[in-house]
Amino acid sequence: MLFKNVLAITLCALPLWINAQTIQVLDNVIISRDGNLGAKFEYQYDEKGIAISETYYFWNSSTNMWIKNSRIEYQYDSNNNQTWTTFFWNSSTDMWVENRKYEFLYTDNRNQTWITSYWDSSINGWMQSKKFEYQYDDNQTLKTRYFWDNSTNIWIKISSTQYNFHYSSLTLNNIPQVNKRQSAVVFPNPATSYITVKGEMESIITVSNLSGGIIYQQVMAGESKTIDVSSWASGVYVISVEKGNNRTVSKIIKQ
């Protein structure tokens, strides 16, 4: 099934803290084009205010109804590992059908493995497809790609890419001096689809372009947050992670 080509808004661990007792969360987003309804995204949360699902609808002008199209469900474990499962709506059976699964696994405090799987209706189960391993060592990143060989039931290495980063000083308007006591890690770098920010709970994440314009700002509900960057333009971005008087600033490359 082909999904509609619309603006995708993906939220994972979304809450905006207003005070100690009240949490404000985004209920839905409705997108209109030239005054006409186009798309709607609805979000659900658990008792801690963490986003657990989002559902996408498109507007059918002939029936004046919202039509279900796709859905993402988020799951988290005690080690901050995340699993995203995508579904599409089968209108003939009025049921959600599994489509893709993305597993984000931390092998230690920094390194991460991503595994993608697809739903095989012939066996009524998940089939592994691709794996990406990210290893980080100071200013170096090693990205290794694999595909799953069904005939041998093992991962086959496709390629391994080494990134070496060289930094220079960068001055930005209205950004305070970096406080080295606040330690936050952002990876992978470079990024193509997602980045993960690891830091202190309730830190404020702010992403700016090199012109100083803010393109993303959110509060971390836990010690880790994954952000969808697939729609960002290629280039360099500045990520600030702030809690109280402590702040770290990092640069990432969006490919």
Note the pLDDT tens digit of each residue in 88-137. 999 999 999 999 998 888 776 567 788 999 999 899 999 999 998 878 77
Q: Does residue 118 fall inside a structural domain?
A: no
Average pLDDT over residues 146-160: 93
Q: Does residue 86 fall inside a structural domain?
A: no
Average pLDDT over residues 24-45: 83
Average pLDDT over residues 77-84: 80
Among all chains, which residue has been given the structure tokens 């830091």?
Answer: 199
pLDDT for the residue 64: 94
More confident residue, 57 or 138: 57
- 142, pLDDT greater than 80: yes
Question: Could you tell me which residues come within 8 angstroms of residue 149 by beta carbon, excluding any fewer than 6 positions away?
Answer: 155, 156
- Residues making up the chain, counted from first to last: 255
Q: Does residue 187 fall inside a structural domain?
A: yes
Number of domains in the chain: 1
> What are the pLDDT digits (tens) for 230-243?
778 888 888 888 87
CATH number at residue 222: 2.60.40.3080
- 81, pLDDT greater than 50: yes
pLDDT for the residue 213: 75
pLDDT confidence tier of residue 172, bands split at 50, 70 and 90: low
- 16, pLDDT greater than 60: no
Average pLDDT over residues 149-158: 93
> What are the pLDDT digits (tens) for 37-61?
988 888 888 877 777 888 999 999 9
pLDDT for the residue 23: 58
Q: Residues 8-11: contacts with CB within 8 Å, 24+ apart? A: 8/56, 8/228, 8/230, 8/231, 9/41, 9/54, 10/54, 10/72, 10/228, 11/43, 11/51, 11/54
Question: Could you tell me which residues come within 8 angstroms of residue 64 by beta carbon, excluding any fewer than 6 positions away?
Answer: none
218: β partners: 205
Q: Does residue 188 fall inside a structural domain?
A: yes
Q: Residues 64-68: contacts with CB within 8 Å, 24+ apart? A: 66/40, 67/91
Q: Does residue 17 fall inside a structural domain?
A: no
pLDDT confidence tier of residue 24, bands split at 50, 70 and 90: low
pLDDT for the residue 22: 58
Instruction: Report yes or no on whether pTM surpasses 0.85.
Output: no
Among all chains, which residue has been given the structure tokens 């661990």?
Answer: 13
> What are the C-alpha distances in Å from 203 to residues 106, 186, 220?
20, 13, 5
Q: Which domain holds residue 254?
A: 169-255
Residue type, 214: I
Q: Does residue 230 fall inside a structural domain?
A: yes
Among all chains, which residue has been given the structure tokens 């995203």?
Answer: 84
Percent of the chain clearing pLDDT 90 (strictly above): 26
